[in-house]
């Protein structure tokens, strides 16, 4: 099976602009999660989508948003970019294993999109 793909791999934007990042999950995975990775804050959860619905959201401002399409592909959008948004943005799709009520979400990550805001 093909792995998780993210596009673009690298992006340079200026402050105040907006950006859209794309993620294609592993075939058959319905859950897609997004994370921000920075040297100072480490890996932080942004949000999770499952069957086109946002199911979980991390502690990020409303400038960060996302969506999921019927084929499970997901996009995240950041509006009014700030210098502090420079980061590696990682997408992960989940293989759900185990019995209902005790599922484990085994997450598989893409290579990330490196966003630089100048």
**Residues in the site for another protein, rule: CB under 8 A?**
4, 31-33, 35, 42-43, 45, 48, 50, 55-56, 58, 90, 92, 94, 98, 101-112
Our CB check for another protein shows the closer of 53 and 118 to be: 53
Q: Are 29 and 93 in contact (CB under 8 A)?
A: yes
Q: How far is the CB of 103 from another protein (least distance, A)?
A: 6
| Nearer CB in complex with another protein: 78/90 | 90
The SS3 of residue 83 is helix
Nearer to another protein by Cβ, of 24 and 94: the residue is: 94
Check residue 67 and report its DSSP letter. Answer: E
Q: Please, are residues 65 and 76 in contact by the beta-carbon 8 Å criterion?
A: yes
Q: How far is CA 74 from CA 1, 6, 7, 40, 98, in A?
A: 18, 10, 11, 26, 25
**Smallest distance, another protein to C-beta of residue 111, A:** 5
Compute the distance between CA of residue 18 and CA of residue 46 in angstroms, rounded to an integer.
17
Question: Considering the complex, what minimum distance in angstroms separates the CB of residue 81 from another protein?
Answer: 22
Our CB check for another protein shows the closer of 43 and 83 to be 43
């Amino acid at each position: 099976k093909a792995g998780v793909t993210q596009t673009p791999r690298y992006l340079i934007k200026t402050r105040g602009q907006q950006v859209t990042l794309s993620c294609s999950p592993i075939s058959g995975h319905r859950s897609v999660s997004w994370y921000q990775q920075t040297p100072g804050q480490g890996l932080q959860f942004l949000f999770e989508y499952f069957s086109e619905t946002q199911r979980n959201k991390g502690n990020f401002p409303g400038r960060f948003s996302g969506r999921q399409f019927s084929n499970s592909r997901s996009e995240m959008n950041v509006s009014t970019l700030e210098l502090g948004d420079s980061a590696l943005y990682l997408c992960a799709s989940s293989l759900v294993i185990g019995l209902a009520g005790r599922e484990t979400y085994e997450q598989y990550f893409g290579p990330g999109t490196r966003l630089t805001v100048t």
